[in-house]
Amino acid sequence: MPLPLCYCTNVHPCRSAAEVERVLDAYALPVRERAGFGIAVGLWLPAVAVDDMRRDASQRSGLRRALDSRGLTCHTLNAFPFGDFHGSRVKEQVYLPDWSDPRRLDYTAACARLLADLLPAGVDGSISTLPLGFKQAARGPGFFDEAIARLLDMAAVLERVRDETGRTIRLAIEPEPFCLLETTAEVVGFFGRLWDAADAAGTGRAAREHLGVCYDVCHQAVEFEDAAAAVGGLRSAGIRINKVQISCAIQLDDPADAEARAALAAFAEPKYLHQTMARAADGRILRAVDLSPALATAPPDEWLHARPWRTHFHVPVDAERLGPLGTTRAELRAALAAVAGLDERPHMEVETYTWPVLPGVTATDIVDGLARELVATRDLLASSATPPVTAPA
């Protein structure tokens, strides 16, 4: 069935199960009111909150009542950030624990059981997760085999959840720059290995049914991937897109523009990782693991002559420009058009988690900003022939 458009609540601090209702009242309800149509919430719950609810059934049922009483629904969870996503420094820590670590499986399985309790009748669920781990992190020679084993265990968990509850929930692995799965080619190669392991174990059907990807539009735009080719490649490889995170990156069109580079430098902040790539004159993609003021204000010569630059900093999806900087909104339009042709409709989630660290933005701006994003996204989806349900607010 068609589902309401949702936004991801990882934009809001949440450090315990007790804080979820505060997030709903302080943010989700005002966002819905200002957007003027019915929305869903894509909940992010850190491991400590999920553990609280796992131990206390009344907290799980209380969350369902909290959603119901406010006229909100939840059909997708963001289980990428495991710990405090609003600490003073998140950066590469967001990729821990990775998928070789049993704690990642345990957390994600608990999220699945929680989501089964939250799903409206007749609705499938999705859970987004990290792309195995961070490329620059130390890992042992058996890492990929261990990660595959955990993912196949996760598929078995999801199969049991469906047998026990009648709710189908799918995992959505989210490629990201500088992670072990960042390009579509890497994703296709890994899933081929994953399918082979599942077939050898006799669990190929369950793996193909329950494991797929989350297509984050910002991430693939930073990689300079063509959205139609990427979506087509995943489809041809039999990899299901279970979720789309609607997001835009920063684009520096002309690095010779000192004013634009100074504006870009303002986005170099200490909390999140802002992977930056640029297309060199010879077609190579230049890569920096994080945006720094030095890279923006005094770039090396080859960066100065590369254009455009793209930075992994989720910026409002309704913005074509941010002063002298551009955004990848054109790539967002192309991605939405590409997924409109899929046989299975992915869950659609606006995910601008960086509102609290956007230059010049105050806390009072966030609700209005999220509402504008949702309205603009509704209109983009309508123009791409995949309109979400927009029930009365």
Question: What CATH number should be reported for the domain holding residue 15?
Answer: 3.20.20.150
User: Is there a domain that residue 393 lies in?
Assistant: no
On whether residue 294 sits in a domain, the answer given is no
Look at residue 364 in the predicted model and tell me its pLDDT. Answer: 81
Mean pLDDT of all residues in 362-368: 90
Mean pLDDT, the chain, rounded, equals: 96
Give yes or no for a cis peptide into 308 (omega within 30° of 0): yes
Position 109 scores a pLDDT of 98
Peptide bond just before 255 cis, omega within 30 deg = no
Measuring CA to CA, how many Å separate 119 from each of 63, 169, 204, 382? 11, 9, 26, 25
Among 43, 42, 38, 60, CA closest to 51? 60
User: Residue 321 pLDDT > 60, yes or no?
Assistant: yes
Instruction: Provide the pLDDT for residue 2.
Output: 72
In a domain, 319, yes or no: no
Angle of helix 47-55 relative to helix 57-69, nearest 10 degrees? 110
* Distance between CA atoms of residues 348 and 346, nearest Å: 6
Residue type, 303: W
From 240, 225, 191, 210, select the one nearest 331 (Cα to Cα). 225
Q: Are 342 and 309 in contact (CB under 8 A)?
A: no
| pLDDT (mean) for 321-337 | 98
55: containing domain: 6-247+327-383
pLDDT of 358 higher than 80: yes
**Whether pLDDT at 387 is above 80:** no
Look at residue 391 in the predicted model and tell me its pLDDT.
46
In tens, the pLDDT along 217-254 reads 999 999 999 999 999 999 999 999 999 999 999 999 99
Query: Is residue 84 assigned to a domain?
Result: yes
pLDDT at 385: 64
Residue 169 lies in a domain: yes
The whole-angstrom distance between residue 245's C-alpha and the CA centroid of its chain comes to 5
Residue 140 belongs to a domain: yes
The tokens 């609705």 sit on which residue? Answer: 123
Number of domain units in the chain = 1
125 part of a folded domain: yes
State how far the Cα of 9 lies from the Cα of 24, in Å rounded to an integer: 9
Whether 117 maps to a domain, the answer reads: yes
Q: What would the mean pLDDT of 49-62 be, rounded to a whole number?
A: 93
Dump pLDDT digits (tens) for 149-170: 999 999 999 999 999 999 999 9
How many Å separate Cα 33 from the centre of its chain? 24
What pLDDT, on the 0 to 100 scale, is given for residue 362? Answer: 87
Tens-place pLDDT, residues 157-215: 999 999 999 999 999 999 999 999 999 999 999 999 999 999 999 999 999 999 999 99
pLDDT in tens, 256-303: 999 999 999 999 999 999 999 999 999 999 999 999 999 999 999 999
| 1, pLDDT greater than 90 | no
